[in-house]
Amino acid sequence: MLTTFKLPRRDGLLAPYTLAGRAPVSAPPGPIRRRIGMAAVHVVADPLAPISPTLEVALDWDATLRYRHHIWSLGLAVAEAMDTSQRGMGFDWRTAKELIRRTVAEAKTVPGAVLASGAGTDQLEPGPRVTIADVEAAYEEQCAWIEGCGGRIILMASRALAACAKEPGDYLKVYGRILSQVREPVIVHWLGEMFDPALAGYWGSRDLDQATETLLTIVKEHASRIDGVKISLLDQAREVAMRKRFPANVRMYTGDDFDYPTTIRGDGDRHSDALLGIFDVIAPAASAALKALDAGDLVRYADVLAPTLTLSRHVFGAPTRFYKTGVVFAAYLNGHQSHFRMVGGQESARSVVHLAEQFVLMDRAGLLRDPDLATARMRRVLAVAGVE
């Protein structure tokens, strides 16, 4: 008999919901070959640490690393210490250094594991005294740490650079300097202001066409030092137009959590690989879909991803920067962590109604790996909100 219980609605009422009874999505074993599928993964807070959660960081290291093993076991790659890990939203560089060190060491124990880690400038507090030279030094410190651990670099956008840069030439200077020093090709990340308002006007212009041209100049001048570019603008047309202009050796990593199925599938000429926060939430479905693509089964690929797209658009709905709450909520529902607490207290960043809607969408997409456990945990979250 299918489980039925009451969930809150946007009109303030409670309505019965009956679980779909759909079997959880699963993926066949083995690697993914025709695309790179990177999941930007979350961190698991330590809920019992005697800290002030809005000012200090404490992780449950075992649960955090165990989740990375889960991602690798599905054939997906791990993008570490990025915005999904709450860089810039409570997760500091000091803790990120330790996370990167530990994850690189773990990756070396897993045959075929792929890992890349975020290098930014978040040890700098943007302000009028921060200079371009300070930004370069901060980037150099983080890149050196990642490479010193034996890791690969994802070159993240810098709030400090956005604050102190005067013109596109400042971006050309900073990125040119950093890219000239890296040991192996990096992934350059353009994170849009919907994910982080402090990054408005990145690449030296609020005009996205002009900003695009600056980034393309960097890509063409330093193509041998760039593995790919991750675009997180939620703008499929811009992403497709940009990838057509990339040198042949430079990948487009889609960061479009609104429209990833078609950009990953490709247009017969070029395709996007994936570096997505939603792959943390839909990891089994992402793996199953990419393996179907490997087999040339486009029908299976589309069928698996279609319901995840509705879920993703909900999780990443405005204000988009709070999507991390939905990512951790999904991990809690699926038993990857024992609690629904987050770094910085961000578990409160989405309403209980929003979370209830996410529960429904996960159920319909076959992404509750143990529906009974997920239902019990949904009830606990509702109880905290006074819904008994």
Give the total number of structural domains in the chain. 1
CA nearest neighbour of 327 among 137, 119, 84, 81: 84
Give the alpha-carbon dihedral of 62, 356, 77, 187, to 10 degrees.
-110
Residue 101 confidence class, pLDDT cut points 50, 70, 90? very high
Measured between alpha carbons, how far is 118 from 143 in angstroms, rounded to an integer? 9
User: Residue 90 pLDDT more than 90?
Assistant: yes
User: Residue 2 pLDDT more than 90?
Assistant: no
| pLDDT score recorded for residue 1 | 64
pLDDT digits (tens, 9 = 90+) for 265-313: 999 899 999 999 999 999 999 999 999 999 999 999 999 999 999 999 9
**Is there a contact between 379 and 5 (Cβ–Cβ < 8 Å)?**
yes
Q: Which of 1-10, 90-99, 133-142, 146-155 has the lowest mean pLDDT?
A: 1-10
End-to-end CA distance of the chain: 22
Distances in Å between the alpha carbon of 16 and those of 3, 54, 144, 356, 376?
10, 36, 54, 12, 15
pLDDT cut 90: percent of the chain above it: 97
Domain span at residue 43 reads 4-384
Residue type (1 letter), 276: L
Paired residues of 38 in beta bridges: 77, 275
Tokens 């404490």, located at residue: 58
Measured between alpha carbons, how far is 308 from 323 in angstroms, rounded to an integer? 15
Tokens 């200079």, located at residue: 131
Mean of per-residue pLDDT scores for the chain: 97
Residue 322: give its domain's CATH number.
3.20.20.70
